[in-house]
């Protein structure tokens, strides 16, 4: 089962392989994208194309992982989808070991949005997880020492202190009341 959300129907992508290229052109474009992804581990392209190619890449890796390199059908698929044949070795020797016991999806898709000014086509970045490149989204900053956070921390502490004090005062009050009542009772019983 794929670990990524997919559309229930495939996109037709009529212009993916050039105008009028039809479904064969679409699948050729998908092959090119999958090959490029396996080679470079990070590619950029139109969101629609790249998102569609993502499913194919995931499925290919999953099949390779499940059936291994001795399965005829899987090898045929790898041969079809990887236009450059040195990548067949990479698929079985690098990517399959990399993703053994991997609970999540093998790829990651980042939306880049449209370039403005320019062609209003949404673009995206597709990458294989565990690649050697710098991360697309930078590491989150350590903001513990920012002024706002320090002030908030202090405010929280003060609030807690107040609360404790009020509770303690209440307890003290109760205890003193009980003591006085006990004294009254004892005096009544002795009399």
Partner 1 sequence: MSINTGSWRLRIEWSMGSSSACGTNLPQTVSQPQSIIDDIFGDGFFWAVPKARRSLERRRTRRNGSTKLEHWATPRKNIKECLVCGHWHLAHTICGNCYDKVRKETEEMRATMNKNDRDYNAPHTEVVYVYQGEEKDTELLKGKYVVEVDKPRPEWFSKFLLTKALGRR
Partner 2 sequence: MNFSLFCSALVVPCRFSNTLATKLVERHRKSKLASHTREEAETKDTTVLTAPRDYKFVYPEFLPDPTWWKRDRIREKLEREDMMRRRSVIEIPEFYVGTVMAVESSDKYAPGKKNRFVGICIQRGGHGLRAGFTLRNVIDGQGVEVQYDLYNPTIIRLEVLKLEKRLDDELLYLRDAPQEYSTVPFDMEPVVLPPGIAVPINTMKVKLGPRPWHERWERQELKGVEDLGLPERFYKRAAEVAKPWQKHDLMRDYRLAINEDETEEIMTDVYGKMQGIETQQKLRRRQGPGPAK
Binding site for partner 2 (CB under 8 A): 1-2, 6, 8-10, 23-24, 26-27, 52, 55-56, 59-60, 63, 66, 76-77, 80-81
Evaluate whether 82 touches 38 at the Cβ level (below 8 Å). yes
Q: Is residue 84 within the footprint of partner 1 (CB under 8 A)?
A: yes
Positive or negative: CA dihedral 69, 73, 79, 81: negative
From the list partner 2, partner 1, none, partner contacted by residue 103 (C-beta under 5 to 8 A by kind): none
From the list partner 2, partner 1, none, partner contacted by residue 109 (C-beta under 5 to 8 A by kind): none
Q: Is residue 32 within the footprint of partner 1 (CB under 8 A)?
A: no
Here's the x/- map for partner 1, 86-105, by CB under 8 A: it reads as: xx-xx--xx---x-------
Q: What distance in Å separates the CA atoms of residue 151 and residue 28, rounded to the nearest whole number?
A: 58
Q: Is residue 139 within the footprint of partner 1 (CB under 8 A)?
A: yes
Question: Nearest Cα to 1, choosing from 41, 53, 51, 55?
Answer: 55
Peptide bond into 11 cis (omega under 30): no
């Amino acid at each position: 089962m794929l670990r990524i959300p997919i559309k229930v129907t495939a996109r037709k992508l009529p212009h993916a392989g050039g105008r009028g290229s039809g479904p064969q052109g679409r699948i050729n474009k998908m092959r090119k994208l999958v090959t490029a992804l396996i080679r470079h581990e990070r590619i950029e392209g139109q969101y629609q194309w790249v998102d569609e190619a993502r499913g194919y890449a995931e499925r290919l890796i999953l099949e390779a992982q499940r059936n291994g390199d001795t399965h005829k059908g899987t090898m045929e698929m790898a041969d079809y989808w990887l236009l450059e044949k040195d990548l067949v070795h990479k698929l079985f020797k690098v990517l399959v070991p990399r993703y053994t016991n991997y609970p999540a999806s093998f790829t990651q898709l980042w939306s880049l949005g449209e370039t403005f000014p320019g062609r209003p086509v949404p673009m995206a970045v597709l990458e294989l997880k565990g690649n050697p490149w710098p991360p697309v989204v930078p590491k989150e900053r350590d903001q513990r020492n920012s002024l706002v956070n320090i002030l908030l921390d202090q405010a929280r502490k003060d609030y807690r202190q107040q609360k404790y004090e009020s509770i303690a005062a209440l307890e003290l009050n109760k205890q003193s009341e009980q003591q006085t009542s006990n004294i009254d009772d004892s005096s009544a019983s002795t009399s």
